[in-house]
Structure 1
């Protein structure tokens, strides 16, 4: 059964994953294709649910929707530290995880996707998930600190860099060829999934770096912004679209 069938079943309908075990506790994931409430009917909702009948399990988690092969992330949301008690507060997540229109535009003719969940359990004030390690980026003398696991969940390039066979083991990575404001905007998008302010003023710079790190949704946002000014820089935008495989930008440029 595909997403297109499930989304026709109304608000509050949910699909529950198979049960899985993390740090001795049993969990599942609940996916609401039409939102869990009327206020979220334009979104899909996604929740992590504790099944074990225990109290005060403190955890942080990251929920990610990827393509059906589990390689390319579409949307990733990290949680705050939450307390699960197996009773009234047994579920935490995101009522407005992603707009349905955004999910459907990404899926196109493909009707399936993968949901990934990374859980960090906190015991005695200490996190026990090794994937929660930080990495520091040096960009033209300025430093940026970020979570390896969140970067890897959002970007296939970071995923390969941190967890591939030739993984980067250093805690400090020097970035070449990117200006500090652009890299800061990339991190802003990775953590919030919101369009960075820079996209309004320098979308071409942001598009290049989004392509470098495999951030397909940000690429589409930049393409749309550039398309609004297509009459001004038709030739340069066509070249940009050709080099970075931006179909919409190339089509808009060539149709003038």
Structure 2
């Protein structure tokens, strides 16, 4: 069992997170639809919550899916009395699958948002179909050593006073909001977890009796660390890249396994066998274009470790934004989809008046559709709050307003000499 909680109040909003770990996932295949596992209680915003996991679905329509639900299990006497008296608690949550292969700290798809819901004594839970069992079982980074982790982020908002309630919380580009969220339909028997785990696998169906004792779980994978050490060393490197005059060495097989573009560059295509031999014989590969050595090294770091290197920040995030923007270009060039999504998420968090225009251009050029939509929405709100100096009554389509808006967004271009 692994639990993390971090709550911080901002205006009327309080949030916290809880990490759910389920061991022995394969043994849950024999459970019936409606059988569920309940986490221990965790506290966010002064209220107690738990996560319900239905390994085989909560209703017949969701059979074959892992379903997750956030449940209010408040033991606060005052809060419980308020609920019994007709009081309500409004909250939303986001369920995110964690990258177990990277130590359980990275994020993977899916990441699903449950829209704000009014929790009451009569309606204490909300959730959704999270992921298909077969999809979870097929992806090594999702299910490691028969175990997976899900983070539940809970956000409580007190919007009793409409004037003081905050604006809707922006949703990161990789997070999908489900259209149909619901309370669990079938409440089957609760499966009691073994010591320290939500589910202790045994040789028998847990509904038929206690499971056999489970041995301690194996240590987390260290593949990312071992490959990172391999990159840092000079052992076995068989290809050199020339990037803006600087030489960078790496391992052909590692790069080819991670990127189809590297595969074609280093081993050729399937069209001509002689071309493949010529490509494989090259020991120095020219990286054309305007890619900088630091960006290419950061790309290689991700290829080997599936994580970004530490990026030096200048306090306001300017250096980090520039580096991540360049990594988006590199990720698009080498078809590194996961890196591209991670970079989109980082840039989303840094959207402001300084970065919105350049990030919008980048997103439009490289097909980052959700990031583009977020930038457009931000700029619309920003421009709506900015009026040109002098006449405050000019229309949106007036020349003065158009000139002011274009000067606000784009740097002035030098005038051409006649």
Which of 61, 71, 76 is 2:111 aligned to? 76
Alignment of 1:134-153 (within 5 A): 134=170, 146-147=171-172, 150=175
- Which residue of the partner structure matches residue 26 of structure 2? 4
Q: Which residue of 2 aligns with 1:226?
A: none
- Write the distance in 2 (CA, Å) between the matches of 1:119 and 1:149: 17
1:27 maps to what in 2? 49
Larger radius of gyration: 2
- The answer for unaligned runs of 5 or more in structure 2 is 1-22, 75-79, 177-337, 374-418
Matched residues in 2 for 1:178 and 1:9: separation? Answer: 45
The number of aligned residues is 167
Residues 1:77 and 1:21: Cα distance change in structure 2 (over 3 Å):
same
Cα drift, residue 110 of structure 1: 4.0
**How many Å separate the matches in 1 of 2:106 and 2:138?**
18
* Aligned pairs (5 A) from 1:87-126: 87-94=121-128, 96-106=129-139, 107=142, 110-123=145-158, 124=160, 125=162
- Contact 1:121/1:128, CA 8 A, preserved across alignment: no
2:369 aligned partner? 184
Distance 2:88 2:368 in 1: 38
- Aligned position for 2:332: none
The residue aligned with 1:14 is: 36
Once the two structures are superposed, residues 75-125 of structure 1 have per-residue CA deviations (whole angstroms, 9 ceiling, x without a partner) of 11111220101x22100011x222222222223654222111112212124
Partner of 1:63: 95
Write the distance in 2 (CA, Å) between the matches of 1:182 and 1:46.
31
Name the CA distance, whole Å, in 1 between partners of 2:173 and 2:169.
Answer: 6
Shift of 1:65: 1.6
TM-score w.r.t. length of structure 1: 0.54
How well do the aligned residues superpose, as a CA RMSD in angstroms? Answer: 3.4
Q: Does the residue aligned with 1:118 lie in a helix, a strand or coil?
A: strand
When structure 1 is superposed on structure 2, of 41-50 and 113-122 the one drifting more is 113-122
* 1:70 Cα deviation from its structure 2 partner: 3.1
**TM-score (ref. length: structure 2):** 0.35
CA contact (8 A) 1:64 1:73 kept: yes
Alignment partners' CA distance in 2, 1:23 and 1:61: 13
In the superposition, relative to structure 1, how do residues 109 and 63 fare at CA in structure 2: closer, same or farther (>3 Å)?
closer
Q: Which runs of 5+ in 1 are unaligned?
A: 135-145, 189-256
Choose between structure 1 and 2: higher strand proportion. 1
